[in-house]
Structure 1
């Protein structure tokens, strides 16, 4: 967007905030997904504009709370992952836990990999998006019995549809209306769900992403 090679982006929360704070991107819409029903990880019929992070452990683990993670091997995703790093790290810090000194941090690539790492005793716990166990249940039918959540984060804003900040107001409206129309068309809805796991779109505003900015600062301050 900054080089004006693209006009529209499907930006996750952190990428949107970084782009907006540089004056590159404006938000038009937020994706909607079906909310999750816990502890079984099934989707409901309710559309929401957020998701959550969760920390999972192996069933019968002695880890029952965030405090119990001290001294344990805990898996995270890369530092730009909202559900796999930013939210869990920020909320661990709020709980008085520093991932640099209080736990043994392990970085993995993929939320499915993190669930499997817990299952195979490679780590004691893992921070993943809710409910990442679904990514492996086809191969491991009893994963919901063997890997269980001990913590759910506060809501994380869903992905955005963002456009270049210098785009004309008329074009912003046209693009916004087009995506909403596509999401209401049965064929378009299926494509969006298959490709992006988006079930719909709602109009959004930048201030809904202030929590991303807050958590980003918390995480940055958590690193020596």
Structure 2
């Protein structure tokens, strides 16, 4: 009798650093950075990102694989006021912005893309713009000159638990019986069509074999 397989496995390279000029692969997770003011960092960690209304790549959350790019933001404050957040970004469907796609530079979201990637060129460091803030999770503090604040922010990241690590917005709440995430809103559970086990669409992996 043939073996039938049912299920899925999510693919995410949790600590993968992209090299300069290397295109991100669809649906993978990568390490990137986001620069913000030290007063804003706690809110981002505890409540998630608020997408910008516009920018070079249109509306979305801006980040970069180049920490030097992130360390230059925000522009109108001193270096000691800046904090660089280390992120895990699930890029989804990526649109590379090159000379042939400049017409999509600020409208890529409307074409079904999750992330826009603007490669480095002519002295400009690369940057990415992510449409859905839930695709970004703060996993560490890459730069902070105030050691006390850095410790406080790192503790705040730990307090967010599984929810923050998986890109959930808001503080950790109850656990989903299917995927184990800390969630604010209940996930709907379904029966696996093969083994009839209760499963959640947010589970990292589910597999069953039946002869």
With the shorter chain as reference, the TM-score category is: under 0.3
**TM-score, normalised via structure 1 length:** 0.24
Higher RCO (CA 8 Å, separation ≥ 6 residues): 1
Structure with the bigger percentage of helix? 1
